[in-house]
């Protein structure tokens, strides 16, 4: 198979990836927001978010910043996947995982996720997410087609989705953010909570002895992918 040259990235008004510089210097414990943007507790409940499969609600922290709280299985892997993407230069939200979170004005019963409430004002295993205030969400982008298709940056993102095994590749998990000052648009995968787990109940590991022909050495030839 003959390798195809990468397509040139579009004009700087659309950004998917930025040069991360010295990756070793990046703070993978706190992520893109760093320790300075860590949620200030306690938080105050504002409203539930009915979107998606995981229980979610919006809170305001002690510094007046709004965060989207996610509960359930996706709350723990998402900050890890988020930091790996950010570490190599891809656009990401600020994500923090908290084993426990005190939430004032929490309803007596949540529509979703009540089993994660330990007391009247405390929930367990919470992911808090927000986007920097200088950007606003202006839409979503599609895996196919999109203006970045064929670029090294976009193909690198596809490889990362495979490496972290993010199987929930719906277009509505992608967002376009616009910088308030420059108008520059950033493409971002905003929901990577389905990473690191099984892709489905029907997919089981192959027995190495039963299926020896499935294993082969990979040389220098290009490897294609159709999803995403």
Q: Is residue 13 part of a domain?
A: no
pLDDT band at 200 (very low <50, low <70, confident <90, very high): low
- Backbone phi, then psi, for 105, in 5-degree steps? 60, 25
Q: Is residue 97 part of a domain?
A: yes
The span from the CA of 130 to the CA of 92, in Å, is 10
Contact 58, 69 (CB under 8 A): yes
pLDDT of res. 12: 56
Instruction: Point out the least confidently predicted range of 65-79, 126-140, 208-222.
Output: 208-222
Higher pLDDT residue, 213 or 155?
155
Q: Is residue 81 part of a domain?
A: yes
Q: Is residue 37 part of a domain?
A: yes
Q: State the chain's mean pLDDT as an integer.
A: 88
Range of the domain at 122: 26-130
Which 3 state secondary structure label does DSSP give 48?
strand
Write down the pTM of the prediction: 0.83
Q: How many domains does the chain have?
A: 1
- Give the C-alpha distances (Å, rounded to integers) separating 213 from 1, 57, 145, 225: 21, 48, 35, 20
Mean per-residue pLDDT, 22-28: 96
Contact 187, 91 (CB under 8 A): yes
pLDDT of res. 207: 53
Q: Is residue 67 part of a domain?
A: yes
- Backbone phi, then psi, for 18, in 5-degree steps? -130, 145
pLDDT of 57-70, one tens digit each?
999 999 999 999 99
Q: Is residue 115 part of a domain?
A: yes
Q: Is residue 55 part of a domain?
A: yes
Mean per-residue pLDDT, 150-179: 96
DSSP H helices in the chain: 77-87, 152-163
Mean per-residue pLDDT, 208-218: 50
pLDDT of res. 38: 96
Q: Is residue 80 part of a domain?
A: yes
Identify the helix (H) or strand (E) that includes residue 101: strand 94-104
């Amino acid at each position: 198979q003959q390798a195809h040259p990468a397509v040139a990235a579009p004009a700087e008004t659309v950004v998917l990836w930025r040069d991360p510089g010295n990756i070793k210097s990046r703070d993978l414990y706190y992520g893109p927001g760093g320790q300075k943007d860590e949620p200030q507790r306690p938080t105050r409940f504002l409203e539930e978010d009915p979107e998606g499969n995981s229980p979610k609600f919006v809170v305001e922290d002690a510094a007046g910043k709004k965060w989207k709280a996610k509960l359930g299985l996706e709350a723990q892997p998402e900050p890890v996947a988020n930091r790996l993407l950010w570490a190599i230069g891809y656009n990401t939200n600020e994500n923090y995982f908290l084993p426990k979170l005190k939430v004032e004005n929490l309803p007596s019963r949540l529509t979703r996720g009540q089993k994660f409430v330990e007391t009247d004002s405390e929930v367990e295993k919470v992911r808090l997410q927000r986007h920097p205030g200088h950007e606003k969400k202006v839409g979503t982008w599609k895996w196919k087609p999109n203006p970045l298709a064929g670029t090294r940056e976009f193909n690198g993102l596809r490889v990362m989705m495979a490496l972290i095994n993010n199987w929930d590749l719906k277009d509505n998990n992608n967002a376009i953010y616009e910088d308030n000052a420059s108008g520059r648009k950033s493409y971002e995968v905003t929901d990577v909570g389905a990473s690191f787990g099984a892709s489905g109940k029907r997919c089981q590991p192959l027995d190495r002895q039963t299926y020896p022909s499935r294993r082969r050495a990979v040389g220098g030839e290009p490897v294609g992918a159709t999803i995403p």
